[in-house]
Amino acid sequence: MPTRKVREVTAALKKKGFEQAEGDHSFFTYHRASDQKKTTVFTKVSHGQNEIDGFLIGKMAQQCRVAKAEFLSLVDCPLDCAGYEELLRSKGLDV
């Protein structure tokens, strides 16, 4: 099962166009690269965690509307912002 450190995941999401908002969780909403318009793609991270386990990585991938491997590629940096938007469009999502 893959795990990732919370700070690495949050830093990668911010770098890829997600904006963070605080609440009972840290919420991340994706904003388009071209015009910074907010989209319906989002995910969240619980406060107080140091690592995200494989199960939660799968849930975050579902929220971001990609497969687990694609989400890990987004977090680990091979997939850039433009590639992520193209991937979402190929799945029929209007981003």
CATH code at 30? 3.30.920.30
Residue 55: domain span: 4-90
What pLDDT does 95 receive?
77
Residue 66 lies in a domain: yes
Residue 15 lies in a domain: yes
* Cα 20 to Cα 27: distance, rounded to the nearest angstrom: 6
Look at the chain and report how many structural domains it folds into: 1
Stretch 72-92: mean pLDDT = 91
What pLDDT does 1 receive?
62
Residue 21 lies in a domain: yes
pLDDT at position 9 over 90: yes
Residue 68 lies in a domain: yes
Residue 27 lies in a domain: yes
pLDDT tens-place string over residues 18-70: 999 988 789 999 998 888 888 889 999 988 889 999 999 999 999 999 999 99
Residue 95 lies in a domain: no
- pTM of the predicted protein model: 0.88
